[in-house]
Structure 1
Amino acid sequence: MDVRMQTRLPLHRLAVFKVLIAQLIVVLLICVLLLVWRGWIAGYSGLFGGAIAWLPNLYFAKKAFSFSGARAAREILRSFYAGEAGKFVLTAVLFALVFAGVRPVDAPALFGAFIATQMVGWFAPLLIKAKPSRP
């Protein structure tokens, strides 16, 4: 079977989907907490910071997990490298867009939400329970 003809699992069927949902929940919670605690500017700055972390992770998940199986080893490696490079570029572009286009911005709220959203990935092994796969 040609590697390019393999069917992909939809994103919601991948194990990484739980991590993406957890990150989205963290973004929304931080946004609400900042909104209540520090006001509108901190609230939307936190939302932007979380989005800057979450959107590139979503891109990486879609790109990196586009192939599966032993026959697709080269394509899997290429898709991981491409996903990571795209994630890096997308993160830099989103930061540049926010700092160039959003006035005023609360930098501690922006970076705090960004870091908190990224930290969810550190705890990903706790969110993804390995299940033995059956053919």
Structure 2
Amino acid sequence: MNIRNKTPLHRLPVFRVLRAQALVAVLMAATCAGVFGGVAGYSALLGGLIALVANLYFAYKAFRFFGARSAQAIVQSFWAGEMGKLILTAALFALVFVAVHPLQPLALFAGYVLVLGTGASALLLMKSNPKH
């Protein structure tokens, strides 16, 4: 029997990581816009948003179940979330490259990598109590 997690996303500990990623995306965009100009600013923002949207999808899919009885459903939802995240990332990059002109690819990838790095390092930076 699979036990569905009814906790809203904003109440899960992963929400703190997503919020930190959103903050980094905005700060990176503002910094790039101030230093390199508007095109670099929105390019960095788009890169950060690609990473953030993909991570939001993963969090939604991955944390749908809990409990020992739901172990198989948890593994399947993590796998589906990761595959969906990769497909969504590729689709969003393709959409940005086709639809957004002018674009600064270096700023786009810098925003993406910085937001991904924030997610990867957020677990190291979190306090021992994940509820605060």
Q: Same fold judged by TM-score > 0.5?
A: yes
The letter of the residue matching 1:3 is: N
CA–CA separation in structure 1 for the residues paired with 2:5 and 2:63: 12
* Structure 2 segments unaligned to the other structure (5+ residues): none
* Structure 1 segments unaligned to the other structure (5+ residues): none
Runs of 4 or more consecutive aligned structure 1 residues displaced over 4 Å after TM superposition: none
RMSD: 1.7
Deviation, 1:132, is: 9.2
The letter of the residue matching 1:22 is: A
Residue of structure 1 aligned with 2:110, choices 109, 112, 127: 112
CA–CA separation in structure 1 for the residues paired with 2:47 and 2:81: 20
Deviation, 1:126, is: 2.8
CA–CA separation in structure 1 for the residues paired with 2:38 and 2:118: 24
Measured against aligned partners, the alpha-carbon deviations of 1:82-108 in whole angstroms (never above 9, x if no partner) come to: 000000000000000000011110011
State whether structure 2 residue 99 is matched by structure 1 residue 101. Answer: yes
CA–CA separation in structure 2 for the residues paired with 1:38 and 1:109: 9
- If you compute each CA radius of gyration, which structure gives the higher value, 1 or 2? 1
- Quick check: 1:18–1:127 contact (8 Å CA) kept in 2? no
TM-score by length of 1: 0.91
Q: Between Structure 1 and Structure 2, how many residues are aligned? A: 131
Deviation, 1:7, is: 4.2
Instruction: Calculate percent identity across the aligned residue pairs.
Output: 49
